Structures are given as structure tokens and as C-alpha cells.
Amino acid sequence: MKKNLVLLKVYLMAGAFTFSGGMAMLPLVERELCDKREWIERKELHEYTTLSQVFPGVIALTNACFIGRKVNGKMGMFFAGVGAVLPAFILMSLATYFYDLVPKEGAVLSALTGIRATSAAFLFLAAYTLAKFNLKDKLTICLSLLAFFLTIFNLLSAPRLILVAVVIGAVSAIFKKGDKLC
């Protein structure tokens, strides 16, 4: 039960204090679960985080479910998932309820601007960490740069881009497997 409560606490903190969603949570979750408690290997955390981005749905929840299940089975998955969703639910409920009462200028606007800047830093750090983990050979580096530029210039839609990447990855795996057979 202690692991479940820690998972709940870690994802509650990550959800409450890291804005911009699942990717921004990575540094906090990594520090708490990999460095501090050593419950999951950094490599596994990065694999699950990468996988979370591929599956449809909320990245933070998908990530929490993968990590929670790895750390403590189905109950760990449940507690981590609740921890990932609860802060967003509470904050969005409060924001919706009090939206008309909040001033749209002055200190509030400055605070929101600061939060936006901090969110960008969290996202950059998470992207850098995952790139360092995933980009290990020339093919993946070229494929990621190609995907980046095709996305930036809006030349290919995301679903088509994913399909192209799947085909290239499958063909690459077949050729690598063929090299080992010879």
C-alpha cells in the first residue's frame, strides 16, 4: 500500500505543479521514481513515456498507468492514474467556475505568462531527455528530423506521418534481421 500512496503523491505533485501535460511531468517523475526510490529504471521510464505519446488519449494518464502497473501492478496503475487526473480535474473545475471572476490583466496576466514560460522549459527538458534516449542511430535521427520539418511546414498530417514512420521502421527492422541471418 505504501508504493500506491507514493505513486499517488508523485503523480498528484506532477499533475499539480507541471503545466503543459504529460511530457512536462517527466523530469519530476524521473527524479522521484528513478533517482530517489529506484523503483523503475530510467530506460524503462523513457520507453513508457515514448509509448504514452503513441497511444491515443491523455499522455499523462497513459504514462501514469504504464508506470504504476510496472511499479506495483493493477493497484499501482489505479493510484498513479488517479494522481495524474485529479489535479487537472480539480483545477479545470475551479477555473471554469471562477473564470468570470478572475481579472484578465495585471498580476494575474503576469502570473499566467510566467507559467507559460515555465511550461515551455519543462517541455524542452522532456523533449531533450527523450531525444537523447531514442535517437541512437542515423536512421532514427534522419526520420525524426524529417518528421519535424514535415510537421513544421504542415506538409504531411500527423496520422500519415505516423503511418510512414511505421512502414520505414518495419522495413528497417526486416533489413536488419536479414543482415543477421547472413
Give the Å distances, CA to CA, from 36 to 29, 30, 32, 123. Answer: 10, 9, 5, 22
The DSSP line for 34-50 is IIIS--S-HHHHHHHHH
pLDDT tens string 84-100:
999 888 988 988 888 77
> Distance (Å, rounded) from C-alpha 106 to C-alpha 104?
7
**Half-sphere exposure in the Cβ direction for 59 (13 Å, CA):** 17
What confidence score (pLDDT) does residue 35 get? 92
- Quote the pLDDT of residue 21: 65
Question: 76-83: long-range contacts at Cβ-Cβ below 8 A with a sequence spacing of 24 or more?
Answer: 76/3, 76/4, 76/7, 78/4, 79/4, 79/5, 79/7, 79/8, 79/11, 80/7, 80/8, 80/10, 80/11, 81/11, 82/8, 82/11, 83/7, 83/8, 83/9, 83/10, 83/11, 83/12, 83/14, 83/15
What mean pLDDT comes out for the span 124-150? Answer: 84
> In this structure, what are the phi and psi dihedrals at residue 153, rounded to the nearest 5 degrees?
-90, 10
Alpha-carbon distance values, 114 to 22, 88, 111, 120 (Å): 19, 19, 5, 10
Q: Which of 16-30, 64-78, 110-124, 141-155 has the highest mean pLDDT?
A: 64-78
6-57 confidence digits (pLDDT tens)? 999 999 988 887 766 667 788 889 999 999 999 999 999 988 988 888 787 7
